[in-house]
Amino acid sequence: MAKAMAKRRRIAGAKFWDLPLPFLLTLIFIMAAGLITLYSATGGRGPFHRQMIWNFGGLACMFAFSLLNLKRVERYCHFIYLGALILLAAVFVIGKVTMGAQRWIPLGPIRVQPSELAKLALVLALARVLVHQKGNFALKDLWKPAVLVMPAFVLTLLQPDLGTAMILLALSGTLVLVRGVGKRTLVTLLALFFIVGVVGGPFVWSHLKGYQKRRILAFINPQAMAKDAGYHVLQSQTAIGSGRVWGKGFLRGSQGRLDFLPEEHTDFIFSVFAEERGFVGVVILLGLYFFLVFFALSVAVEARDAYSFYVAVGVATIYALHFVINVGMTMGLLPVVGVPLPLMSYGGSSLITTYLGAGLVMAVHRRRTG
């Protein structure tokens, strides 16, 4: 009884400065590393200044979001998700095509990439479905999360944005697994994936765009494809490798600066960092990312209710998937798909989404159990 009273008091008296400090500090360290690297990659002109503005805007959004009452969010989460889907569909009507894919909505001077926001919206909606799931997922219960994720998945796949589509799927899978899946269901699912992979693989392959095929081929054998798409990977590996243990130093990277990849300050920012900071820097940076996710999960563990818990885990999963896939692809561990490195890649939509997610984590922290 006394414990319940204390809990209530704690929630009611949530102070503005009641922040998850380790999480916030890690985030700011990564942000700083990102800005310094971007400065080096672009020579400190337009993109750097814009990124700076995005960062400050993002921080402001983060603090605003941290004041949210997730109980209220839970009530409206389906509308939020519906809004995100509408934006995703709108891309096809008024979208801008870059690099063979339609991902942007022009909004005055800025371009909005709705697929970034869709990830957060999915977490908010999916969390509610999981809350209402009684007991472990049986096979027949899976239709609910499947129906939820399907429209977003299909819309991003059609853009085509393979990376984001896969992340949406992996994100839902992770959350469903955390909720709990019966053993028999798990085995059936694995078998199903295997069959779909064998049968559906060739089908999917024939429907991939040219640049996607080249990227996958390049992943399988970068040396053979070095003349073509493979040089992205090879050149990225060269940049990373040539940094050796201590790195070449700030502004000293010869591979990374401006010239070597089409997306040098977006998707391949990690290569620039690794070239200039060496293995030591990579250890520190990956450590920071690890702790970012780790601290987000710590907040989840303190969550007051299941909905908050799922939201925090969802955000942590988004972060983890992004940095693992992005770093993996720059090093040649994964095929090149357009997945940004959170807080470091150039681009407003990705940054804002990252900060909004952080805001949700902080909101969970603010109303935690004592």
Contacts 24+ apart (CB under 8 A), 297-300: 298/20, 298/22, 298/23, 299/20, 299/23, 299/361, 299/362, 299/364, 299/365, 299/368, 300/364
Residue 286 within binding range of other proteins, rule CB under 8 A: yes
Q: What is the pairing mode between strands 96-98 and 110-112?
A: unpaired
Beta strands in the chain (DSSP E): 96-98, 101-107, 110-112
62 to 101: interface string for other proteins, x by CB under 8 A: ----------------------------------------
Single out the residue of 316, 343, 344, 362 in contact with other proteins (rule: CB under 8 A): 316
For the chain, the farthest-separated pair of C-alpha atoms sits apart, in whole angstroms, at: 71
Stretch that binds other proteins, among 163-171, 182-190, 314-322, 349-357 (CB under 8 A): 314-322
Residue 269 within binding range of other proteins, rule CB under 8 A: no
Q: By C-beta, is 103 or 257 nearer to other proteins?
A: 257
Residue 170 within binding range of other proteins, rule CB under 8 A: no
Q: Which of 40, 87, 54 is nearest to 254 (CA)?
A: 40
Single out the residue of 6, 52, 143, 180 in contact with other proteins (rule: CB under 8 A): 180
Q: By C-beta, is 136 or 201 nearer to other proteins?
A: 136
Q: How far is the CB of 93 from other proteins (least distance, A)?
A: 24
Single out the residue of 52, 94, 244, 250 in contact with other proteins (rule: CB under 8 A): 244
What tokens does 169 get?
Answer: 């799927």
Could you please report the per-residue DSSP string of 190-240? Answer: HHHHHHHHHHHHHHHHHTS-HHHHHHHHHHH-TTTTTTTTHHHHHHHHHHH
41, 264 Cβ separation under 8 angstroms = yes
Residue 145 within binding range of other proteins, rule CB under 8 A: no
Q: What Å distances lie between residue 340 and 125, 283, 354, CA to CA?
A: 23, 19, 11
Stretch that binds other proteins, among 9-17, 121-129, 205-213, 274-282 (CB under 8 A): 274-282
Q: How far is the CB of 272 from other proteins (least distance, A)?
A: 13
Residue 131 within binding range of other proteins, rule CB under 8 A: yes
Single out the residue of 239, 269, 336, 339 in contact with other proteins (rule: CB under 8 A): 239
Phi, then psi, of 238 in degrees rounded to 5:
-60, -45
Q: How far is the CB of 274 from other proteins (least distance, A)?
A: 7
Q: By C-beta, is 206 or 223 nearer to other proteins?
A: 223
CA atoms within 13 A on the CB side of 200: 6
- How many Cβ atoms sit within 10 Å of the Cβ of residue 111? 16
Q: Which residues bind other proteins (CB under 8 A)?
A: 43, 45-46, 131, 174, 178-180, 231, 235, 237-245, 254-255, 257-262, 274, 278-279, 282-283, 286-287, 289-290, 293-294, 297, 300-301, 303, 305-306, 309, 313, 316-317, 320, 324, 327-328, 331-333
